C-alpha cells in the first residue's frame, strides 16, 4: 500500500521503518524537506538527525506534507498532538479527501513541565477535533497508548500478549487499520466504538505517564484481561 507518514520524529521513523519492512511504499511528510535534510543536530532525546536515519533507509522517500498525503492511500498522523491540525492543514484538504487517517497522536501539553497535561479531554478528544476539522478524512484513533517501538513491533514485548484500541466512525476504515495492526503483530485489537471513545484512549495517557515513571521504562503496555 502507498502510505504517508506525517512526522519525522521517533514515531514517524518507527512507522516508516516497519512499513517498508512489510513491503509498503512509504513517503515521510515534513514541512520543509531541505530544512529536514540539512539539520545536523540530534533530537531532544539524543537520536541522530533525520538525514542520518534517511541514509540508512534509502527506500523511504521524504516529501512535503502535501506531496506525501496526495500520493497515499492511508495516512499516519505521527506528529505531536499540538501541531497535528496545522500539519493536516499544510497537507491540504484535496490531498486528504476520502482517505483513512491513522491518528496515533496524543494531546499532550508540556508547557507546565513534567508530567504533561492534556489540552483536550473528557468531553472531547484530539481525534474528534481532527475529524471535526477534516470531514474528508476517515479518522481512526489507535496505538497512542504505547511507546513507538511497541506500536509497530508489539512482539518485542511478551510475544504481543497485550492490547491495542481502535476508535472511529467509519467501520471500513477501522477494518483497514485493524488489518495493519495485525500485520505489525498485534494480537488483541479492541474496537472501543465510535470516535468519541478516543477520549478514553487519550485520557489513559495520564496513567501511562505515571506508569512509565514508576516502572522506569516506556517499554510496557496493558493487556485487557477478561
147 binds a second copy (CB under 8 A): no
Per CB under 8 A, 211 contacts a second copy: yes
Which residue has cell 491495542? 164
**Closest to a second copy by CB, 34 or 214:** 214
Q: Is 195 in the site for a second copy (CB under 8 A)?
A: no
| Interface of this chain with a second copy, residues 13 to 42, rule: CB under 8 A | none
User: Is 121 a residue that touches a second copy (CB under 8 A)?
Assistant: yes
Whole-angstrom CA distances from 153 to 104, 111, 217 are: 15, 30, 16
We find the least distance from the C-beta atom of residue 56 to a second copy, in angstroms, to be 29
Instruction: Indicate the residue among 2 and 223 with the shorter CB distance to a second copy.
Output: 223
Single out the residue of 118, 152, 164, 195 in contact with a second copy (rule: CB under 8 A).
Answer: 118
Span interacting with a second copy, options 77-85, 96-104, 129-137, 202-210, rule CB under 8 A: 202-210
- In whole angstroms, what is the distance from residue 59 CA to residue 196 CA? 37
Q: Is 213 a binder of a second copy (CB under 8 A)?
A: yes
Dihedral angle sign, alpha carbons of residues 37, 75, 177, 26: negative
Strands 74-77 and 100-103: parallel
| CA 21, chain centre distance (Å) | 17
Give the residue ranges of DSSP H helices in 28-146. Answer: 33-38, 50-56, 65-71, 84-91, 93-96, 126-133
Nearest Cα to Cα of residue 137 among 173, 180, 167: 173
> Given the rule CB under 8 A, which residues bind a second copy?
117-118, 121-123, 157-158, 161-163, 165, 167, 190-193, 197, 199-201, 203-204, 206-211, 213-215, 217, 219-226
Amino acid at each position: 500500500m502507498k502510505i504517508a507518514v506525517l512526522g519525522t520524529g521517533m514515531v514517524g521513523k518507527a512507522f516508516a521503518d516497519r512499513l517498508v519492512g512489510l513491503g509498503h511504499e512509504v513517503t515521510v511528510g515534513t514541512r520543509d524537506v531541505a530544512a529536514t535534510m540539512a539539520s545536523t543536530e540530534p533530537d531532544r532525546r539524543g537520536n541522530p538527525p533525520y538525514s542520518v536515519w534517511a541514509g540508512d533507509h534509502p527506500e523511504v522517500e521524504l516529501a512535503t506534507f502535501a506531496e506525501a498525503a496526495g500520493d497515499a492511500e492511508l495516512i499516519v498522523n505521527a506528529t505531536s498532538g499540538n501541531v497535528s491540525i496545522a500539519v493536516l492543514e499544510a497537507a491540504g484538504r484535496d490531498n486528504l479527501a476520502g482517505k483513512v487517517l491513522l491518528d496515533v497522536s496524543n494531546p499532550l501539553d508540556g508547557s507546565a513541565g513534567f508530567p504533561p497535561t492534556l489540552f483536550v479531554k473528557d468531553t472531547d478528544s484530539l481525534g474528534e477535533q481532527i475529524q471535526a476539522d477534516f470531514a474528508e478524512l476517515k479518522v481512526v484513533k489507535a496505538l497512542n497508548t504505547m511507546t513507538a517501538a511497541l506500536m509497530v513491533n508489539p512482539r518485542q514485548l511478551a510475544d504481543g500478549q497485550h492490547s491495542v484500541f481502535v476508535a472511529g466512525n467509519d467501520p471500513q476504515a477501522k477494518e483497514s487499520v485493524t488489518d495493519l495492526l495485525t500485520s505489525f503483530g498485534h494480537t488483541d485489537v479492541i474496537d472501543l466504538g465510535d470516535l468519541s471513545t478516543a477520549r478514553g484512549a487519550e485520557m489513559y495517557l495520564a496513567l501511562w505517564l505515571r506508569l512509565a515513571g514508576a516502572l522506569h521504562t516506556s517499554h510496557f503496555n496493558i493487556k485487557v484481561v477478561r
